[in-house]
Each structure stands twice: as structure tokens, then as C-alpha cells.
Structure 1
Amino acid sequence: MPVMVEDVMKLLCSISEERKMKAAVKQSGRGALVTGAVAFVGGLVGGPPGLAVGGAVGGLLGAWMTSGQYKPIPQILMELPPAEQQKLFNEATAIFRHLEWTDAVQLTALVMGSQALQQQLLAMLVNYVTKELQAEVRYDD
């Protein structure tokens, strides 16, 4: 059964949307740059004590900037580059490869009708988001 990557992305979006899943992707690189820049300026202005104060202030500012704003997981999935979508596609199809279906609509109906399949796909999705994207997952009520 040929299935398109886009169809599986839509399936994963449906599942994550139903559970109201969001993720905060932390941008640690930007926080590290801010921390280093403020520490550098503190060192230039105040010498060694300025470096210490600049490092502390920069660290707090960097942490605040990277605290991450939550975005819906469906939005994150649709913004993934094609190679990452292919990786998710491969992991998802390994979970439902035993199903017999003819099109994406039927596949979605089969998966949405099975709590076990939904749980497996959700676990795979949470694992991907936390490990590959280094994001924190939250479920809104």
C-alpha cells in the first residue's frame, strides 16, 4: 500500500491535535550567545567583578529568553524539513504496517478507532519531539 509522507503527517497531526499537544522548543544556542555577550561586556566594563556580574545577569537573561513558548505539535510537524518528516513517516509506518487499508482516510479511521494504535503513535511522537527536537511536551485541557 503506497502512502504519502504528507498523509502520515496529517494522521499524526490529527492525533496530536485531539490530545491538544504542544511543545516548547528551547533555543539554547541563542541563550548561550546572550549569556556570553553580556559576560563579555561586563568583563570589559568592570574587569573580573564585571565579568562575574555580567555572567550572572547574562545567564538569567539567556534563561528567560529561551524559556520557550509553546506551539501546537501539528504546526511543528508541518514545519519540519522533508528529511525529518521522512524519519517520522518511517517510524509511524512501522507501527501500523500490519493494518490493511486502501487510502489515507481509511488509515486515519482505523488508527483513530484503536486506542492501542493511538497510544503507540503518541509515544513515538513524544519520543521524537523530546529527543530529536529537544522540546518539552505539554497537554492542554
Structure 2
Amino acid sequence: MPLVVGDIMKLLCSVSEARKMKAAVKHSGRGALVTGAVAFVGGLVGGPPGLAVGGAVGGLLGAWMTSGQFKPVPQILMELPPAEQEKLFNQVTAIVQNLEWTDAVQLTMLVMGSEALQQRLLTLLVGYITKELQAEVQYGD
């Protein structure tokens, strides 16, 4: 049966939901900008001591801004642009092409029943998220 991009996205959502995967895109550039801006203002207001205090406060603020912004992977997958979904579709198709199935529900059941297939899809998904989306992956609650 021919595969449809939406079916593959649902399959990946099922696999990532089962592992309670979340991902956070790192905004290190924004954190560095905040750190530098607060240090600069501290230096203008308080001279050298203000620069030190501003750098410390800015560093803490920058770290706080860039942490804890995790979203569920299924949500991220469904929000991907069509071109990125197509890229994932092609990679997943290479993994599941030899399976015998009649519809997307049966394909999902086959994958969810096989730890080896789940692991292959998870490896692919984590690789995609870390390389293409430059995000950090977290499992569990």
C-alpha cells in the first residue's frame, strides 16, 4: 500500500508519544544577546563593579530564558513545514518499506509491536531533531 506523509507523521507521533519525548530548541544566541546587553547597561550605570554585576545578572537571565522550553515531539512534528515532513517521510519509508500492511493503523500496530523497529525510528527521529532542528531531546515527564 502506498504511504502518505500524514500517516508517517502519525506513526512518528505514536512512537514519540510512547516514549514521552520532548524537545527544546536552543536559543543560545538570544541568551548571549541578553547577557551582553545587561552587562553593557550595568557597566554604563555602575562602572567596573556595575559591569561585573550586570554580567552576572545577565548570565543568569540568559540561562533562565534558554532553559525549560520543551515541547512534546508530536506537536513539533505536526508543526513542521511540508518540505521537512517530506524529508522525514523519505527516511521513514526506507525503514518500513519491507513490512506487509494494509493501512496506517496496521502499520502503526506492527511498529509498536516491534522494539527493534521502534528503536530504529527513534534513532532516526532523535538524529533529525538534534541535527536539523538543533534541539535537545528529553524522555519522560
Shift of 1:58: 0.8
Q: Which residue of 2 aligns with 1:7?
A: 7
Shift of 1:76: 1.4
Aligned residues of 1:13 and 1:77 also touching (Cα < 8 A): yes
Aligned residues: CA RMSD:
1.9
SS of the aligned residue for 1:78 comes to helix
| CA–CA separation in structure 2 for the residues paired with 1:120 and 1:18 | 14
Shift of 1:35: 1.2
- Residue-by-residue CA offset, 1:70-104 (whole Å, 9 max, x unaligned): 22111111112222222211221111122233332
| CA–CA separation in structure 2 for the residues paired with 1:140 and 1:16 | 10
Q: Which residue of 2 aligns with 1:114?
A: 114
Q: Which runs of 5+ in 2 are unaligned?
A: none
Matched, 1:98 2:98: yes
- Residue-by-residue CA offset, 1:28-76 (whole Å, 9 max, x unaligned): 2321221122122122223344333322221111011111232211111
| CA–CA separation in structure 2 for the residues paired with 1:11 and 1:76 | 14
| CA–CA separation in structure 1 for the residues paired with 2:32 and 2:103 | 46
Aligned residues of 1:25 and 1:68 also touching (Cα < 8 A): no
Q: Which runs of 5+ in 1 are unaligned?
A: none
The sequence identity of aligned pairs, in percent, is 83
Q: Which residue of 1 aligns with 2:42?
A: 42
**TM-score, with normalisation over the residues of structure 1?**
0.86
- Residue-by-residue CA offset, 1:6-31 (whole Å, 9 max, x unaligned): 11110000011111122232222321
Aligned ranges 1:57-68 → 2 under 5 Å: 57-68=57-68
Code of the aligned partner of 1:61: L
Aligned ranges 1:82-97 → 2 under 5 Å: 82-97=82-97
Aligned residues of 1:34 and 1:61 also touching (Cα < 8 A): yes
Code of the aligned partner of 1:65: M
* Structure 1 runs, 4 residues or longer, greater than 6 Å off: none
Code of the aligned partner of 2:7: D
Code of the aligned partner of 1:10: K
Q: Which residue of 1 aligns with 2:19?
A: 19
